[in-house]
Amino acid sequence: MHRTIAFSLMFILYCHLLIAQIDNGKFPLVFPFENQEVTLTNSWIKEHESLNTKYLLSLDPERLLHNFRLNAVIQSDAKPLEGWESPNCGLRGHFVGHYLSACAVLIQREGDTLLKKRINYMVEELEKCQQQLGGKYLSAFPESDFTVLETKFGGVWAPYYTLHKIMQGLLDVYTLTGNKKAYRLVVNMADYVKWRMAKLSDETIEKVLYTTAANPTNEAGGMNEVLHNLYAVSKDPAHLKLANLFDRKWFSQPLTEGKDILSGLHSNTHIVLVNGYARRFENTGEHAYYDAAVHFWDMLVNHHCYGNGTSSGPRPISTTPTSRIAEHWGVPDHLSATLTGEIAESCVTHNTQKLTANLFKWSGEPQYADNYMNTFYNAVMATHNCENGTTVYHLPLGSPRKKNFLKENDFKCCNGTAIEAFAKLNANIYFHDNENLWVNLFIPSKLNWKEKNLIFNQTGNFPEDPKVQFVISTQHPAKFKLNLLIPSWANEQTKILINGVAASVKPIANTFSSLDRTWKNGDRIELLFSYDFHLKTMPDDKNVLALFYGPVLLAFETDKELILKGSHESILKSLVKEKENFSFKLNNNGIAYNLTPFYKITGESYGVYATIRNEY
């Protein structure tokens, strides 16, 4: 009880300090580097990026455009896509938005001329569809879906969700590649939304955007976020007013007040709204939306998340088949009975990472960087098949379980978020202010810090190798503070060496170690970790646990339910790392278990959370 009160007081103090920083014009505190300034170098992370790029290149733009052309009554002889992009699916067109965003990222970073030519062609063809549809509307489904939504408040599958994806894709094409026609298309779409909303009463709009039901078919996606993003570019007050319309008080106000209302809500419907609140705060400085974002993250991470940072699962009061096992948040701190085969929706994980990165940008606080790292290795990378680049919809953590990798032609929501996420694996490794550098992830990469006129090279094979190296290349000495994340799992044996000599700074877990000096060409920094076995338990049952080795969540290779005997301490003492490779063994109750990093699991049966049963 006393620890909970102390944490709450510290959290309130932190919020007041951050607001004071904002009021004094110190916002954001730190900035991510531009997409083209950070390049991944050879590593297992880079291999995942390459698999994703290969998949993007394999897709036929004619097939991606097919449903848009059919909706605009334009001839198309292309073979229709399957899954959620099939001609009869209500969400058709959503994946195309993700595709535009992912390709725009690659074009900006890599200068990929093939993709640029393809995206420019798609924008030209989408413009023809928009003109054919009257000059404002653009989608792969008919306008009548909105009419149904406005009269029945359901009955169609989330038209605003899909419209958001298309608008954001076009906006990304403009902001990342400079395609002005894409910008005109998205402005026209915003005008269309404004026109539709202007016809509705406030009462009707509230019903259209009231998304408390299980698997709400009126899910609006990130319409608030894309419109706030558009306003940041256009500075048109009409865009801000329209964005604010999608920021519904029924959800934002309780979060602003610190009330946990997440139980029973569809996870991905609502986390994207919070990302929109974050964008509104960045645009307008409205503290209420800062409070909503920060309070939401605290509720989510500390009361609704599993040990690897994922969330979503069965709904406490289930009214649909899906809600009985997946996609919703439950009662705070009650997670041990939620381990169905369809928890931890990947879309929710990717959107959580977006919010976490924003909160770090606002504050520079290590808790956000630490959480981001845990989720990156033990959830994000675990969703992606290292053999072929396919992804999962859900990431189950019970036993026995299997990762159900989606087919390349499923085109479900998580296929779409995955192609964006794995196009952006270079993001949020490094942050900076005017003078200083933060290193938040240990991924082999090259940073071109233009303001300092230096190259910062990171090498290693983290997390399997606990040694991370950095080398500075610069023509002139550069003075700055290098802040290295020391994660929460780091032990007292952690060391930092500068040019082979121990640094005077003692690394402390869950902080940044700051190295303040004038750096010269060839300076070498080494960060040396020493891993321990440790565990994380369910908040409502300390006998349900997951095992970690340093930063790595371990999975049992098993086709049976995981029942262990003993205490936390005896189980940890029985864990052994194999000498030959990054694999592990546990002997418990006469059974020899093999364990492996969760991110390496592909087709085999596994278990993550185990249950201790010591009955006599």
pLDDT tens per residue across span 189-220: 999 999 999 999 999 999 999 999 999 999 99
Tokens 């503290």: give the residue. 287
Q: Report whether 563 contacts 552 (CB < 8 A).
A: no
What is the distance between the alpha carbons of residues 63 and 57, in angstroms, rounded to a whole number?
13
| Helix, strand, coil tally for the chain in percent (to 5) | 45, 20, 40
- Residue 410 has which token pair? 């499923």
Average pLDDT rounded to a whole number, residues 268-286? 98
Tokens 């420019």: give the residue. 120
Question: Residues 284-325: pLDDT tens digits?
Answer: 999 999 999 999 999 999 999 999 999 999 999 999 999 999
Q: Report the chain's C-alpha Rg in angstroms.
A: 24
Q: What is the pLDDT of residue 435?
A: 92
What is the distance between the alpha carbons of residues 54 and 51, in angstroms, rounded to a whole number?
5
What is the distance between the alpha carbons of residues 118 and 443, in angstroms, rounded to a whole number?
30
* Residue 439 sits in the same domain as residue 517: yes
What is the distance between the alpha carbons of residues 113 and 208, in angstroms, rounded to a whole number?
42
Query: What range defines the domain where residue 473 resides?
Result: 431-528
Average pLDDT rounded to a whole number, residues 47-63? 97
* Residue 475 sits in the same domain as residue 524: yes
User: Kind and range of the H or E element at 375?
Assistant: helix 366-375
Question: Residues 547-593: pLDDT tens digits?
Answer: 999 999 999 999 999 999 999 999 999 999 998 889 999 999 999 99
Share of the chain above pLDDT 90, in %: 94
* Residue 521 sits in the same domain as residue 441: yes
Cα 90–Cα 96–Cα 99 angle in degrees, nearest 5: 145
What is the distance between the alpha carbons of residues 323 and 334, in angstroms, rounded to a whole number?
16
- Answer yes or no: is pLDDT of 127 > 60: yes
Q: Report whether 265 contacts 329 (CB < 8 A).
A: yes
Three-state secondary structure call for residue 342: coil
**239 within some domain:** no
Question: Phi and psi for 168 in degrees, rounded to 5?
Answer: -65, -35
Q: Which of 473, 503, 528 is the last residue of a domain?
A: 528
Tokens 């006469």: give the residue. 590
Question: Residues 314-364: pLDDT tens digits?
Answer: 999 999 999 999 999 999 999 999 999 999 999 999 999 999 999 999 999
If DSSP states are collapsed to H, E and C, what string results for 44-60?
Answer: HHHHHHHHHHHHHHHCC
What is the distance between the alpha carbons of residues 491 and 508, in angstroms, rounded to a whole number?
8
* Residue 453 sits in the same domain as residue 521: yes
What is the distance between the alpha carbons of residues 239 and 246, in angstroms, rounded to a whole number?
11
Task: Kindly tell me the burial class for residue 583, based on how many C-beta atoms sit within 10 Å of its own C-beta (0-12, 13-18, 19 or more).
Answer: middle
- Answer yes or no: is pLDDT of 14 > 80: no
* Residue 603 sits in the same domain as residue 580: yes
* Residue 541 sits in the same domain as residue 594: yes
Q: How far is CA 54 from CA 51, 57, 59, 164, 389, in A?
A: 5, 5, 9, 26, 9
Q: Which of 505, 528, 551 is the last residue of a domain?
A: 528
Q: What is the pLDDT of residue 208?
A: 97
Number of domain units in the chain: 2
CA 608 to chain centre: 21
Q: What is the pLDDT of residue 580?
A: 84
Q: Which of 487, 507, 528 is the last residue of a domain?
A: 528
If DSSP states are collapsed to H, E and C, what string results for 256-304?
Answer: HCCCCCCCCCEHHHHHHHHHHHHHHHHHHCCHHHHHHHHHHHHHHHHHC
Q: What is the pLDDT of residue 615?
A: 79
This prediction's pTM:
0.95
* Residue 509 sits in the same domain as residue 559: no
Average pLDDT across the chain, whole number? 95
Average pLDDT rounded to a whole number, residues 33-41? 97
What is the distance between the alpha carbons of residues 128 and 322, in angstroms, rounded to a whole number?
38
Which of 41, 36, 35 shows the shortest CA–CA distance to 461? Answer: 41
Average pLDDT rounded to a whole number, residues 42-65? 97
**86 within some domain:** no
* Residue 504 sits in the same domain as residue 556: no
Q: How far is CA 392 from CA 106, 419, 473, in A?
A: 22, 12, 40
**413 within some domain:** no
Half-sphere exposure of 8 (CA within 13 A, CB side): 7
Average pLDDT rounded to a whole number, residues 59-84? 97
- Answer yes or no: is pLDDT of 514 > 50: yes
Average pLDDT rounded to a whole number, residues 397-401? 97
**360 within some domain:** no
- Answer yes or no: is pLDDT of 5 > 60: no
Q: What is the pLDDT of residue 579?
A: 87
Q: Report the CATH number at residue 481.
A: 2.60.40
Question: Phi and psi for 424 in degrees, rounded to 5?
Answer: -115, 30
Half-sphere exposure of 463 (CA within 13 A, CB side): 26
Residues forming beta bridges with residue 454, ordered by sequence position: 449, 474
Share of the chain above pLDDT 70, in %: 95
**DSSP classification of residue 324:** G
Question: Residues 598-610: pLDDT tens digits?
Answer: 999 999 999 999 9
What is the distance between the alpha carbons of residues 278 and 282, in angstroms, rounded to a whole number?
6
- Answer yes or no: is pLDDT of 123 > 50: yes
Which of 182, 88, 98 shows the shortest CA–CA distance to 138? Answer: 182
Q: What is the pLDDT of residue 27?
A: 65
Alpha helices, H only, 144-236: 144-152, 159-177, 180-198, 202-208, 223-234
- The string over 358-391, giving b where at least 16 C-beta atoms fall within 10 Å of a residue's C-beta and e elsewhere, is bbbbbbbbbbbbbbbbbbbbbbbbbbbbeeebbb
**236 within some domain:** no
Task: State how beta strands 563-564 and 610-612 pair.
Answer: parallel
* Residue 519 sits in the same domain as residue 537: no
566: left (phi over 0), alpha (psi -120 to 50) or beta: left
What is the distance between the alpha carbons of residues 493 and 417, in angstroms, rounded to a whole number?
38
* Residue 558 sits in the same domain as residue 603: yes
What is the distance between the alpha carbons of residues 554 and 598, in angstroms, rounded to a whole number?
5
**594 within some domain:** yes
**362 within some domain:** no
Which of 206, 332, 355, 197 shows the shortest CA–CA distance to 264? Answer: 332
Q: What is the pLDDT of residue 408?
A: 85
Cα 385–Cα 390–Cα 393 angle in degrees, nearest 5: 95
* Residue 503 sits in the same domain as residue 561: no
- Residue 574 has which token pair? 């029985």
Q: What is the pLDDT of residue 26?
A: 53
**328 within some domain:** no
- Residue 596 has which token pair? 């492996």
* Residue 496 sits in the same domain as residue 558: no
